[in-house]
Amino acid sequence: MEDKGRKNPQELTPNPSSVSVESKGVWFIAEHKAGQLEKTAFLLAGEGKALSTKLGEELAAVIIGSKVKHLADQLSPYGVEKAFIIEDELLEEYTGDAHVNVLSRIVKSNKPSLILFPTTPMGNDLAPRIAARLRVGMIARYTEIEVDREKKLTIRRPIHGGKATATVVTLNKPLIATIDTQLLTVQKAPQANNVQVIETGVKVDPGSIKTRFIDYKKADPCAVCVSEAEIVIGVGKGLSCAENLKAVEELARILGASIGGSRRATDERWISDERRIGLTGKNIAPKLYLICGISGAFHHTLSIKSSQLMVAINKDKNAPIAKLADMVIIGDMQQIIPELARQLKETLK
Amino acid sequence: MRVVVCVKQVPDQTLIKFNIDTGSLNNIHYIIDPVDETSVSEAIKIREKNGGEVIAVSLGPSRTEEVLRTCLKMGADKAIHLCDEIFDNLDVYSVSTVLARQIASLKYDIILCGRESMDEGNGFMGAGIAEWLDLPLVTSVTRLDVFADTMTARVHRRIKGGDREILEAPLPAVFAVESVLSKPIYPPLRTILAGLKKQIIKVDSQSLGVDKNTLQPLTSILSVSQPKPRLKKTATIDSKLTAHERMKLLMSGGAQQKSSKTIEKPPQAAVADIIQFLITHGIISR
């Protein structure tokens, strides 16, 4: 199938003269939070290792922050060979200006061939900035990188919202690429190795920071859009009347969850229309989806498949949702929800 | 406030289809990128509050006029169409350089563009323009408050889990916006009729001073193909299943093996199980 599309390549042909040969090394940006590496760092390490083995180049992590040197060791089971440490107090919080300032300088002096970013708010902001600063090509949300015998990279990425796949090449190095970390799984290298820590000593040029940080606004979990929330509670026909939503709301506050629902729940005006999950509503991908009194019609389940963990509460054990959920509780949500709220309160105390 | 909005004409994502027989995209209906419609709406709201003008800029072949006309009908004051043979099939990097060159020749306080276009979705344009014009940049903007007296903007930026980061940027600045920024405006008939009469300003490469040799692409699309079915975690198909179910699994590309647990207990005990389940999966901690 793939080859059929290749018969009509577009006019633009690669210009080999702009490919620099000396660039070596696969880098990835290791995100961290509160003195711990984020999971995306390990996911990218696994992806980076696979690519660096194919290319025969070494794998290096880039850790940017204020006190981050100690984080490098955590990457040793993943086959990371080097870790570039950029430490500066101005890098405590993520600011695009400061990060691009330091990162572009160490990229220029070390010349990697490929830099991977996660598709997190940080990666989505930093990757295009660094590509623009270095005047190099950027590929967003790639799904596959192919390495041929001459070590040339061919990249595939979805376009038109996944309706087609584009095969892309970049014409100079380093290649800046972002990958959806949800597509990856944590992969440890066969052998752990010592991570060589390289302290770059690069400091932020304070003049480069153009925007000023004012404040964080922590989201009210109940008010958050269902597609953004980490925990979602879905309600359906089993709610039976608007009155019963109070118990669900209390549970949502305890869990820090956003409330969504099936078409039935929005049609009955139990919840507002923008909280509808399903074919005519929103797609969700939370860490936990608690499904209360939704039988699991196709129109609903279509939009919930990316949820990491699904717990269903339903009276009917033959409901389609039972096949999909990781845990199914057979029972009445009217009794279970208040009980769950009560016990959770005790557990979390 | 003089607001420049970069708009793009894209094929409607809900209609477009990949035709396997011809190996090309079919059913292409061009529309204005929904996120750019948001930017234009926001720009008009800024103008209503602070005065000034709204200029829509777009690069593309002659059909791009349609989206610029849409912008004029929404109430934009001017529309600039960058149209030239050498502008065809440019990569996102080159487009950003051409747009930046055009914007540099205008007077501007705010530059708006979509964070990610609907068709290619590179998410590069904002960063490109900000870099070439050496301006502050904020991406994923969900709220924009402009203060004309201090020439600053206070912006909300989307970060993880619905949280927002609030930043202050001196103007002029570039904002790459999210589609939640602004609700689309419904212009009165008078504005629509006035929009129909306005001239679209055509700019070609010569008047912009862009040479074909300066437009070196950095990325190139070799081909467009059918999307691959998404990889699923497939286990060997369970031999306990009936032939009919096994066929169904094979045709759907395999099944994700789930170790589903069904619990039928009185509420109190069932809830204790849920909590234990949530703890083992790291959702909550004691």
Q: How far apart are CA B32 and CA B11, in angstroms?
A: 8
> Contact at 8 Å (CB) between B286 and A347?
yes
Mean per-residue pLDDT over chain A, rounded: 86
- CB burial class (10 A; 0-12, 13-18, 19+) of residue A206? exposed
Asked if A346 is an interface residue toward chain B (Cβ–Cβ < 8 A), one would say no
* Least confidently predicted of A6-15, A19-28, A208-217, B62-71: A6-15
Q: Percentage of residues in chain A with pLDDT exceeding 90?
A: 36
pLDDT for res B130: 95
Q: Copy the structure tokens of residue A195.
A: 């991570």
Helix (H, G, I), strand (E, B) or coil at B175: strand
Reported confidence tier of residue A13, pLDDT bands at 50, 70, 90:
very low
pLDDT for res A60: 93
Q: CA nearest B159 in A: which residue?
A: A121
B275, pLDDT greater than 70 = yes
Cα distance from N-terminal residue to C-terminal residue, chain A: 57
Of the two residues B88 and A130, the one the predictor is more confident about is A130
> Contact at 8 Å (CB) between A126 and A100?
yes
Helix (H, G, I), strand (E, B) or coil at B230: coil
Of the two residues B159 and B80, the one the predictor is more confident about is B80
pLDDT for res B230: 60
Of A297, A291, A296, which Cα lies nearest the Cα of A333? Answer: A291
Q: How far apart are CA B1 and CA A144, in angstroms?
A: 44
Tell me the H-state helices in A65-182: 96-110, 121-134
Q: What is the mean pLDDT of residues A198-204?
A: 88
- CB burial class (10 A; 0-12, 13-18, 19+) of residue B1? buried
Of A340, A233, A327, which Cα lies nearest the Cα of A289? Answer: A233
The DSSP 8-state label assigned to residue A35 in this structure reads T
Kindly list the residues from chain B whose CB atom is less than 8 angstroms away from the CB atom of residue A331.
264-265, 267, 270
Of B221, B210, B224, B178, which Cα lies nearest the Cα of B92? Answer: B221
pLDDT for res A9: 31
pLDDT for res A134: 92
pLDDT for res B147: 94
Q: What is the mean pLDDT of residues A310-317?
A: 90
Question: How far, in whole angstroms, is CA A105 from its chain's centroid?
Answer: 26
CA A231 to chain B, closest CA, distance in angstroms equals 9
Q: How far apart are CA A177 and CA A199, in angstroms?
A: 24
**Cα-based angle B145, B151, B154 (whole degrees, multiple of 5):** 30
SS3 for A188-246, per residue? CCCCCCCCEEEECCCCCCHHHCCCEEEEEECCCHHHCCCCCCCEEEEECHHHCCHHHHH
Q: Percentage of residues in chain B with pLDDT exceeding 70?
A: 92
A46, pLDDT greater than 60 = yes
Q: What is the mean pLDDT of residues B192-219?
A: 90
Q: Give me the domains of chain B, ranges plus CATH numbers.
A: 2-214 (3.40.50.620), 228-286 (no CATH)
Reported confidence tier of residue B258, pLDDT bands at 50, 70, 90:
low
Q: pTM for the whole thing? A: 0.80
Reported confidence tier of residue A19, pLDDT bands at 50, 70, 90:
very low
Reported confidence tier of residue A6, pLDDT bands at 50, 70, 90:
very low
Asked if B8 is an interface residue toward chain A (Cβ–Cβ < 8 A), one would say no
- Window 244-273 of B, Cβ < 8 Å to A: 258-265, 267-268, 270-273
pLDDT for res A79: 87
Q: What is the mean pLDDT of residues A291-318?
A: 89
**Which residues touch B42 (CB under 8 Å, ≥6 apart)?**
B112, B144, B177, B181, B182
- CB burial class (10 A; 0-12, 13-18, 19+) of residue B233? exposed
Instruction: Give the strand pairing for B152-158 and B219-225.
Output: unpaired
H or E element in which residue A138 lies: strand A138-142
Q: What is the mean pLDDT of residues A22-37?
A: 88
The pLDDT tens digits of the residues spanning B166-175 come to: 999 999 999 9
A135, pLDDT greater than 50 = yes
Tell me the H-state helices in chain B: 34-50, 65-74, 92-104, 125-133, 189-197, 205-208, 243-251, 267-280
pLDDT for res B237: 64
B47, pLDDT greater than 60 = yes
Report helix angle B125-133 to B92-104, nearest 10.
40
> Contact at 8 Å (CB) between A304 and A310?
yes
The pLDDT tens digits of the residues spanning A59-74 come to: 999 999 998 888 988 8
Asked if B132 is an interface residue toward chain A (Cβ–Cβ < 8 A), one would say yes
Strand partners, B142: none
Best mutation site among B168, B218, B249 for testing chain A: the one with the most A CBs within 10 Å? B218
Q: How far apart are CA A5 and CA A208, in angstroms?
A: 44
Q: What is the DSSP string of A242-265?
A: GGGHHHHHHHHHHHT-EEEE-HHH
The DSSP 8-state label assigned to residue B241 in this structure reads S
* Residue A140 vs residues A19, A117, B48: alpha-carbon distances, Å: 20, 9, 36
The pLDDT tens digits of the residues spanning B28-43 come to: 999 999 999 999 999 9
Q: Copy the structure tokens of residue B57.
A: 């800029």
The pLDDT tens digits of the residues spanning A214-272 come to: 888 877 766 778 887 889 999 999 988 888 889 998 999 888 889 999 999 988 888 88
Q: How far apart are CA B56 and CA B76, in angstroms?
A: 7
Q: Give me the domains of chain A, ranges plus CATH numbers.
A: 20-208 (3.40.50.620), 221-348 (3.40.50.1220)
Exposure string (b/e) for A122-156, b if CB count within 10 Å is 16 or more?
A: bbbbbbbbbbbbbebbbbbbbbebeeeeeeebebb
B84, amino acid identity: D
Of A173, A143, A137, A171, which Cα lies nearest the Cα of A155? Answer: A143
pLDDT for res B232: 53
Kindly list the residues from chain B whose CB atom is less than 8 angstroms away from the CB atom of residue A168.
219-222
The DSSP 8-state label assigned to residue A142 in this structure reads E
Ordered strands of the A175-179 beta sheet:
A138-142, A175-179, A114-118, A26-29, A59-65, A82-87, A196-199
Tell if the CB–CB gap between A129 and B137 is shorter than 8 Å: yes
Q: Copy the structure tokens of residue A271.
A: 């919840």
Q: How far apart are CA A269 and CA A155, in angstroms?
A: 46
The DSSP 8-state label assigned to residue B159 in this structure reads -
Q: How far apart are CA A237 and CA A315, in angstroms?
A: 11
Report the complex ipTM.
Answer: 0.83
Reported confidence tier of residue A12, pLDDT bands at 50, 70, 90:
very low
Q: How far apart are CA A134 and CA A154, in angstroms?
A: 21
pLDDT for res A17: 39
Reported confidence tier of residue B252, pLDDT bands at 50, 70, 90:
low
Best mutation site among B97, B222, B231 for testing chain A: the one with the most A CBs within 10 Å? B222
Tell if the CB–CB gap between B225 and A255 is shorter than 8 Å: no
Q: CA nearest A285 in B: which residue?
A: B161
